Structures are given as C-alpha cells and as structure tokens.
Structure 1
Amino acid sequence: MLAALLKLRTELSGAALGLDIPGATDGREAQRALLTQLDDYVLPRLVQLDAPLLTVVGGSTGAGKSTLVNSLVGRRVTESGVLRPTTRSAVLVHNPADTNWFQPDRILPDLARASTQSHDTRSLTLVAAHTVPKGLALLDAPDVDSIETENRRLATELLAAADLWLFVTSAARYADQVPWDYLREAADRSAAVAIVLDRTPDSSMGEVRGHLARMLTARGLKDSPLFTVLETEVDDDGLLPPSSVAPILNWLHDLAADPEVRSAIVTQTLDGAVRKIVFGAFDVADAVADQGAVLGALVEDVDRAYTGAEAAFAKAASDGTLMHGELAARWRDFAGSGDLLRGADDRIGRIRDRIVDSVRGRRARVAEVQESLAHNVELLLLEQAEAGAHGAYQAWEQNAAGAALLEGPGRELDRATRTLRSRAERIAADWIEACTEIVRAEGGERRMTARFLALGTAGSAVTLGICVVNELAPREDEAATGAATARELFIDVFGETSARRLLDLAKEDLLRRAGTVLRDERQRFYDVLARTAAPPAAADSIRAAARAAEDARHTDLIPEDWD
C-alpha cells in the first residue's frame, strides 16, 4: 500500500496542469487536494499505524469548539475568539507520553510547530496534558464557515488529516449548508465522525436532536455517535461543568483504552481516504489528458514552424540563393573567370596559371571567399531561426492556451535567442573548416597532382562549399555567378564520383549543423510546455498508479470478513 501510494503521489505531483483550458482550475484544485491528503494524513498514518488517534474538533462559527476542547481537557489550552472571525493557529492537545508522534516529519508537515498559540495559521501549537488519555489527541480547528479564507482552508486541511471528526454544531447552526458540505465529504470517504450538538436550550433539545438525527441518517451518517451539550454557564476559567461533557469524555477515553477499536477507526478512515484518492486520481488523469490534447496541438504548431524553417534552409542552402553579392564577386575574382563561356579545359588551365602566379594573393582571395560564404550561411541560419520563432509564436497566438503562455515565460519567444548570432557565426565557420577536413581526408592521394597543387587544400575546400550552395541552382544563375566553374573545377581535381560523394558529405554536414541549431531554438517552446503541462502519457501513468493503489487497498486495508 505504501509503495503504491508513493508511486501515485509521484505521478500526481509530476503532472503539471498549467494550460488555461476549460476544467483546468478544477483539475488543479483536485490535484492539490489529493496531494495534501496524501502528505498530511494517508502517508504519515500508513508509516505509523500505532500513532495516537487524531481527533479533530471542527464545526460552525460560534458552536463552542474551543470551549468544548478546554472543558474536555480540564483547563484552558486554546483561546476562543470574542470577535468573529478569529484567525489563529490550530492547537493540538496530547498526552505527554505521545509527544514524539506529532513532530513535523510525522503529520501535517507543512505546519510549523509552536509552544504558544498565535495568529499564524501556518503553525500548529502543541500542548501536552495528562488529562488527555494516551493514544488519543484533540486538535482544535478553525471554523469551517469562517469568512476568512485562510481559516476555511486550514479547517479543511486539518479535517482531512483526522482519524476521527468530532463535529460541533449548535441549535442555531446545525442546518447550515457549509457544515453539511463537510459532513457529506466525510460520508463520501467513510471517515469516522461523531457529532456534538452544543449550546442547545433544554426546551428545544428533543426537537432539535431528533431533526439532526434524521438529517444524519439521510446523509449516510446514521451510525455516527450524536452527543448533546445543553446551553449552560461556564465557570471563571471558561469551562463547562464536567457533567456536561462527561459522556463525550468517557467515550473518548474508552476509544483510547481499546486498541482494537482505535485500529478499526483508523482502518475505516484510512480506507475511505485511499478510496477517495483513487477515484480523485482518475479525475486528475482526465484533466491531464485534456491538457495533453491541447499540448499536442501546441507542439504540432512548433514542429510545423521549425520543420518549415529547416526545409527552407535546406532549399536556400543549395539552390544558389546564397551565391549573390559579395560572395559571387569574390568567387569570380578567385576563379579568374573572365570568359565563362570557354571550354572547361581552357578555363581550368587559366585558373591554375593565375593561382600559381602568387601564393600570397591566392591565400588572400581564398580567405575572402571563405569569409563571404560563411557570412551568407550565417545570415541564412539567422533568417530561418527568426522565421521558425515567428511562425510558432503566431500559431500559439491563435490558441487561447498558447496565447496565455506567451504572456508569461514565453514573452520572448517571438524572436530567435539573443545568443544565436554568435552561435550562427561559429556554425558557419565550423562548416567551412569541416569542408577543409573533408577535402584533406580525400585529397591525400591527390596532393601531388598538378591540379590539387594548383588549387590547394583551402582552395579545394572553398570550391566544395561553392558547389554545395549551388548544387540545385538553375544553369543560367550558375553561369552568371561563376558557380558552374566551381563544379567543373572540383570534378577536374577529384573526379566525378569522388566529387559527388564529397559534395554529399559537405551538404549533410551543413544541414546537420543548421538542424541542431534550429532544434535548440525549437526547444525553448518545448521547455515552456514542459513546465506548464504534463505530456499525454502522464494521464495513463496516473491511471495505472491509481489502479495499483486500489489493488493494494483491497489487499492491505479491507479485512476478509468485510462485504
């Protein structure tokens, strides 16, 4: 049971429900309530089944809860408010021998421990009293119908952590809706409940008690003990006469003295809580699935935009788009292609003669071509990264959930990352260097040939780069820019088969580098989604964990003689 519920808790806590879609608020509230129930009660109780029976005293405003607790203990241990609402910390009264059971790591771990009562609703005041029997503790909770949100929230949290509810109401408030909402919740999860009808005049006690008993029966709580406390004066310490609370006190002492009865109450409440958690987990799983469907659509939007950007880069990187302006001029200067219509042999011979004329000039011209080629690749990568970001951003703007994300962590997603320019510059330079390595690896057996010597490793590499970016360029464009010379020259040096293979290698390397950059840019959108919503598979994981917890409940909690 413990292992199954820990697994369920992991799945529930890991399922983000941050997309603003219909039902998301209810799903988040259900998720929070389940995690709170697990952390505050179910898991601590499973770890320490022998812990004292935690009896939470809750109920309506002005019902006399604090007075009742003080009277049961026999001294003032919790302050009742004169003015309503009274915001104050909860008070847990226990036998001194049970002190260790209520340390922060054991129950209600989110509440800080204190020795004196304060107005901090996130603290729990611990009071040791010998008049409280060993094996039982009383916890005075705020009003369930308080107009203060923090009071109501704390009351709900404390009641969810109880083994036993001692629910206090009065003749004036017993039919109010809010207390009955809590009692219906108790009935739904089979929590052990006892009712105290407090502050009721003797003249109307019979009528009110009978009506309240019928209401309890109609709402599935007919087996809950019903105690009555007549309207009476309190003493100077604010305590009720001992005879007024004697039936309640005797009942609590009997519970504390009987380990089997205590165990039965714990098992009943724990079983009901686990059952309710299992059912609630399926509701959360449905909410996760709803979010997953929207998340999938948002992912498709991003993928469509960036896949288009990758395709556009691949096309522009090989159709001659990059062969313009300064790059074309520098290439023509390097290749010496004054008359591009002559035969290839004549051109190659002339190019070789011109290149050999001046080693220093050749190196300068190669560097210029490399610089221009890298610059154009860099600009193309920047352009497509911006296009991918813009396309994904626009698609999200058309989706209500996506638009909400763009107002928060996604507000800068409409542009490429700020560091992309320097990264694109490195990518382009690295690709030029990769072309050099490809040529160097292939040219080992050709380095002593006249053609390779004339062109050189750097010249061969930049010629390879020019071939890549013009692989699919129209013939007329190649003629205008001199790109045809690059292909013919490269084939002349390496041979047609090797030239084709080297061109493929260089092109694949360029697309791989660009694809890595664009995928990293795309990841920004994925990261926003990962922080916001669980993937669709999370719903199945929650359901599987819930089924395992239900199986464990039947194995570990339900005795064989239960129906």
Structure 2
Amino acid sequence: MTATNATTDMLTALVRLREVLRKAPLPLETPGIAAHRSVRTEVLAQLEDYVLPRLIQIDAPLLTVVGGSTGAGKSTLVNSLVGGRVSLPGVLRPTTRSPVLVHHPSDVAWFDQSRILPDLERTPDASMDTGRLQLVASDNVPPGLAILDAPDIDSVEERNRLLASQLLAAADLWLFVTSAARYADQVPWEFLKSAAERSTAVAVVLDRTPPDALAEVSGHLARMLTARGLRDSPLFAVPESTVDDEGLLPPEAVADIRAWLEMLAADAGARAAVVRQTLDGAIRSLSRRTHPLADALAEQATVVTRLREAVDTAYDAAQRDIDEAITSGNLLRGEVLMRWQEFVGTGDLLKALESRVSQLRDRVVGGIRGRTQQIERVAVAVESGLESLILEHAERAAENADRAWRGSDAGVALSDSVPSELGRASRTLRRRVDAEVRAWHEGVLELVRAEGAGKRGTARFLAFGVNGLGVSLMMVVFASTGGVTGAEVGVAGGTAAVAQKVLEAVFGDQAVRRLAERARRDLERRVGALLDEERARFDTVLDELGVDTTAAERLRDATRRVDDVRFAAPEGGYA
C-alpha cells in the first residue's frame, strides 16, 4: 500500500467512524454514562479539529499549541518567541479571551475555518469571546510553523478549561509551559499523561524559575517526565527575568526554544516526523477509546429494549384483561343486567320464543313495542360499562409501565423529562374511548341491518327491530369465548341465553355465531387501537432518543476498519 492510498483509505475509514459516532447519542442515564459521553465528545472533537484536517492537508504548517497552568507565563513566552506583543498577558485571573494563532503571512490560507478547529470563528482582532480564534500574521514566525496561545488548563472558568483541552487536542506539537511553583501540580500531569498515552509530540518549558534553582528543578522535572513516559520530550528552562517595556523576555532567555522551533520549521523531514508521531498516536488513541463506547452503546440499546418490553407487558396485559372481561360475562351484571331485565321482562319473552313461531307476533310484538326507552337504557348501560372497563385498564397499564420504568435511573429520567404524566392515562383518552364505543355500537347495528336485509318484513325482525336485535347481539358478545355463545355458557343467570334465543329466532344459529364473532373482533380491534395510542406515548419517548440497536456493532466495524488501515499503512506514514 502506498502512502497516498493509505491516506485515502484512512480518510474514508475515519469519516465513517465519525458518522457512526455522530448518529450514536448516549441519551440514557446508565451507570458511568457521563464519562462515556465525555469520551464521545472528545473523540468527535479530535476527529473534526485535528485528525481529519491534518490528513486532508498533511503538508500544512506545524501547529504548536502553547498550553499550561494559570500564571505560568504562556502569553509572555509566545510574545517573546514572536518578538512582539501578539497575545495580551492576563493581569487578573481568570483571563477569558479568544485564543491567538500566530503564523507566517504566507501560511494564512492554511488556517481558514475549514482547515482546523472549524467551530471557532476567525477574527483578526483580540476578543473576549472564547468562540473566536484570533489570527495574527507575523514575519517573525518562520513559514511552516504556527504558534497558538491557549487558555489555562486549570482555569476556574470551565469554558477556558474546555477550550484549552480542545486546542491541545488539535496540536501537532504541545509546548507545555509550567513553572517552578506549579510543575508538580496534578492537573498539568494529567494532560501530560494523556499526551504520553497518545504518543503526542511534547516539549516542556520550565518557566519563571529562579536561576539558582534551575538545575535542581530541571533535574527533578526531567526525572518526572521520564517516569511518565515522556523521556524523549525536549525540556527547556527559562530563568526568571525582567521583561522589557513591551512585556518581552530577554532574547537569550528564549533563544533555545526559538532555535528548536525554527529548526523544525526549516527541516521538512523533522517536521513530518512530529506530525506523523502525533497523528498516528491520535488515530491509535481514537481507535482504543471507541471500544468502551461501543459497549456503552450496546448497553443503551439493551436498556431501550428493556423499557420498551416493560411498556408492551403492561399494555398487552391490559388488552388481555379487557378481552377477558368482555367475553367472560363480567359486563352482564350491575346496571347492564338491570336494564336488560327491564327490557326482556321477567321471562315472558323467553317463554314466547320457546312457543310455536306462529304465535310469536301475537305474544311478543305487543310486549316489545313501546320499549324503545328500555332498549336505549340498555345501550347506554353497555356503553358506560365498556368505557369504564377500558379506562380502568388503560389507567392501570400506564401506572404499571411507569412503575417499571422508575425501577432504573434511565427510566426515572425519561419519565420525569416528559411534560405530560406518563403514569396516568392521557387526558384525551376518555373522549376517544367514548367515540370508539359509540362507533362499535353503530357497527353492531350495521351488522344487524346487513344480516336482516331480506328479513325486515318478517314477524321476528319486526318484533325486535334493529335496536333490540343490536342490543341482543351485544349481550351475546359479552358472553362469547372462541365462538362459544351465551346459550352455551349460561352466563349471568341466563342473560346471554335470552339474547341468544332472540337472535336465533330471527337469524338462525350459524348466523348468530358469525355475527357475534365479527362484533367481538371489531370491539377487540378498537380497544387495541385505543391502547396502542396510549402505548405510543411511551414508545415516542423512546423513539425520540435516537438509540440505534445496531450502532454498537457498526461502531465496532468502523473501528476495526481504522485499525486495519493503520496496520497496513507503510512505515513512512501518510503522504
């Protein structure tokens, strides 16, 4: 594989890795998720701020980021290296301002907004806005080199710390500045440890050190660097000196650092070696850090699946319970039973139905005519009973689903994030249930009309009418299981048996079975649709998270591809 092919293949692999990460949020509050979110943000930032831009423009100037602790003298050092005041030192702490990038005038095209740090707006002027990057052209900076003055890594201002981390991650070379008073602090060593782990090219500047302590402090610092995997990092010592009227250190104080940087700028091979070391280390680090992210994504998918299953369990149980209550005869009690008995009388109707058909008109029609109000009362009682049944179980399903969610931190956060209360049925449910129950009633009447199309002039049909037969069919539905109808199960003291006889007298046994099954299925469908709408409130919350159950494997595949290309790249790196 040639260096050019390796670059193309690596760009393709890294772009794919970036896209997988972009589309793989970590929204659920699972254990340790804050750290994973931070890593994901850092990985994406380094891809976009440094790795991809550097691969696309491998010959761009060497970006040296000057970073370090509060009060270490970074800005003074930058100004002294450039030979002029380009970065304003902070008198008060914390100093909040835009970072400053100094480059040779001929290199200005390399640092437009599409090159590195694309989220920082370019500006030629000093600013207090940390979202801007001040570009300063200076002939005192050799071509092929750029120096960026970053905020304090240990600033009390969080935005300064975050920006410092972002800028250091975008560096080809870290020029890490510390002082005799601060060189053993924990925060700088955390950054240096990270640099060692990523094989980032690092040079350390021991600044503001009393001359009589230079040897001792430099020796101790060198030992610390060696112990922490940075033995090859150049170490420069800048003695404590008096600055001139421009705030610059004496030229001899920074001569060694300036000479070393100029050497790197002039030597294409040395410059390429620094870039190659940092770039390869960054890519290797990205690959290593995405493996735990893949595990975190898999856990997010598992939690989403578990939360969705809890919702399905609650609402599937509600559907089963409602279906059972409808077909078991439980509704043929209370108000419904009382109104039905008012309609059919004390048994005269059943006796009449058991008599000869020729006697039916004389003995039944007179008893049914004038009972319109009783029929309506039965219908109202049925609708009311159905509505109460559905609402009760929908409310219980919402409570059960919400309770299951609140058994985990992820579910609690989700439940609390929704404006409407998930643990209660939706406010519009009662209205929708009322509409569906009425629609089902109308559907039952339509079934009766259609079935009796050729029998509307018969004595039996006229005796009961569409409404009476419709109510009777509903009674049969409420005591039918798997096609076994009311007369066969004898539920609620013969209530369904009477309704069965009424319908059979008009339509016949097989037709009654068919009508009851169709009405029952229509009711189940409507109840299922109502519950699905309620279930959807939970599902929508989960869907809006954007958790992709395939993201973990896709991230692993993308990472493996990056590793394969890196291992196959020629020894000279990328061209």
Task: Give the TM-score of the pair, scaled to structure 2.
Answer: 0.85
Counterpart in 2 of 1:516?
529
1:478–1:223: structure 2 CA closer, same or farther, 3 Å change rule? same
Q: 1:236 aligns with which of 218, 240, 245?
A: 245
Query: After the TM superposition, which of the residue ranges 522-531 and 380-389 deviates more from structure 2?
Result: 522-531
1:362–1:75: structure 2 CA closer, same or farther, 3 Å change rule? farther
Q: 2:274 aligns with which of 265, 270, 273?
A: 265
Q: 1:468 aligns with which of 472, 477, 498?
A: 477
Q: Percent identity among equivalent residues?
A: 52
Instruction: Give 1:184-333 correspondences, 5 Å limit.
Output: 184-332=193-341
**Contact 1:390 1:415 (C-alpha < 8 Å) held by counterparts:** yes
Query: After the TM superposition, which of the residue ranges 218-227 and 102-111 deviates more from structure 2?
Result: 102-111
Q: Which whole-Å CA distance do the structure 1 matches of 2:244 and 2:545 have between them?
A: 57
Counterpart in 1 of 2:416?
407
Q: Which whole-Å CA distance do the structure 2 matches of 1:285 and 1:329 have between them?
A: 63
Q: Which whole-Å CA distance do the structure 2 matches of 1:552 and 1:209 have between them?
A: 41
Query: After the TM superposition, which of the residue ranges 352-361 and 283-292 deviates more from structure 2?
Result: 352-361
**Contact 2:76 2:249 (C-alpha < 8 Å) held by counterparts:** yes
Counterpart in 1 of 2:132?
123
Q: Is 1:169–2:182 an aligned residue pair?
A: no
Q: Is 1:553–2:562 an aligned residue pair?
A: no
Q: Which whole-Å CA distance do the structure 1 matches of 2:364 and 2:117 have between them?
A: 83
Amino acid at match of 1:255: L
Q: 1:503 aligns with which of 511, 516, 520?
A: 516
Q: Is 1:490–2:503 an aligned residue pair?
A: yes
Query: After the TM superposition, which of the residue ranges 18-27 and 414-423 deviates more from structure 2?
Result: 18-27
Cα deviation for residue 455 of structure 1 reads 5.2
Cα deviation for residue 171 of structure 1 reads 3.0
Cα deviation for residue 180 of structure 1 reads 1.6
Q: Is 1:94–2:96 an aligned residue pair?
A: no
1:477–1:500: structure 2 CA closer, same or farther, 3 Å change rule? closer
1:159–1:443: structure 2 CA closer, same or farther, 3 Å change rule? farther
Cα deviation for residue 207 of structure 1 reads 3.6
**Contact 2:352 2:360 (C-alpha < 8 Å) held by counterparts:** no
Amino acid at match of 1:272: G
**Contact 1:370 1:462 (C-alpha < 8 Å) held by counterparts:** yes
SS in 1 for 2:292: helix
Q: Is 1:183–2:196 an aligned residue pair?
A: no
**Contact 1:335 1:351 (C-alpha < 8 Å) held by counterparts:** no
Amino acid at match of 2:480: E
1:350–1:216: structure 2 CA closer, same or farther, 3 Å change rule? farther
Instruction: Give 1:340-489 correspondences, 5 Å limit.
Output: 341-342=350-351, 344-346=353-355, 369-409=378-418, 412-439=421-448, 451=460, 460-472=469-481, 477-479=491-493, 482-489=495-502
Report the RMSD for the aligned CA atoms in angstroms.
3.4
Q: 2:169 aligns with which of 145, 149, 160?
A: 160
**Contact 1:355 1:362 (C-alpha < 8 Å) held by counterparts:** no
1:207–1:410: structure 2 CA closer, same or farther, 3 Å change rule? same
Cα deviation for residue 331 of structure 1 reads 4.2
Amino acid at match of 2:435: R
Amino acid at match of 2:220: H
**Contact 1:216 1:222 (C-alpha < 8 Å) held by counterparts:** yes
Task: Give the TM-score of the pair, scaled to structure 1.
Answer: 0.87
**Contact 2:440 2:523 (C-alpha < 8 Å) held by counterparts:** yes
**Contact 1:330 1:369 (C-alpha < 8 Å) held by counterparts:** yes
Q: Which whole-Å CA distance do the structure 2 matches of 1:462 and 1:45 have between them?
A: 78
1:42-89 CA deviation, whole Å, 9 max, x = no partner?
Answer: 333344434333221101222221011112222211111123332222
Gaps of 5+ in 2: 1-9
**Contact 2:333 2:492 (C-alpha < 8 Å) held by counterparts:** no
Cα deviation for residue 140 of structure 1 reads 0.5
**Contact 2:406 2:412 (C-alpha < 8 Å) held by counterparts:** yes
Cα deviation for residue 366 of structure 1 reads 5.8
**Contact 1:478 1:484 (C-alpha < 8 Å) held by counterparts:** no
Amino acid at match of 1:489: V
Gaps of 5+ in 1: none
Counterpart in 1 of 2:3?
none
SS in 2 for 1:166: strand
Counterpart in 2 of 1:526?
539
**Contact 1:466 1:483 (C-alpha < 8 Å) held by counterparts:** yes
1:328-371 CA deviation, whole Å, 9 max, x = no partner?
Answer: 45545555675255264449888766897799968776665544
SS in 2 for 1:509: helix
Cα deviation for residue 160 of structure 1 reads 1.1
